[in-house]
Amino acid sequence: MSYLVYVAIFGTVSVIFLWLRDARIFLRTGLPGFRKAAYWGVAYGALASLGFQVAWFMPDYEILGLGLILGALYLQVNREKEKIWNGEGTLERFLGSVSRKRANKR
């Protein structure tokens, strides 16, 4: 097993983390851009998982698997989303912490 398999594991986990972060932000804010990103994140997570499986089970094609993962990562972060952070710190942005929007404002 090559060191590239560990890179594939990290890339796949990163893509899935970004998908779950987008889903969390959508659930907290209801913004349509993050809804679309969360839906597309399912496909990108599947593509990254396929890339990981190629890198893990076919050692001769590790580069192909890494290419699939990097493609999924590029597509995951290349979506147009609304700007929701106004001066929050890095940790809040990393975790996707945003203020909730209330449904019934009086």
Using one digit for the tens of pLDDT, what is the confidence trace for 30-82?
888 888 889 999 999 999 999 999 999 999 999 999 999 999 999 988 666 67
- The tally of CA atoms less than 13 A away on the side-chain side of residue 53 is 6
Tens-digit pLDDT profile for residues 52-63: 999 999 999 999
> How much of the chain, in percent, has pLDDT values that exceed 70?
88
pLDDT band (50, 70, 90) for residue 103: low
Distance, in Å, from the CA atom of 61 to the CA atom of 57, rounded to the nearest integer, reads 9
Instruction: Give this prediction's pTM.
Output: 0.82
Residue 104: other Cβ atoms inside 10 A: 4
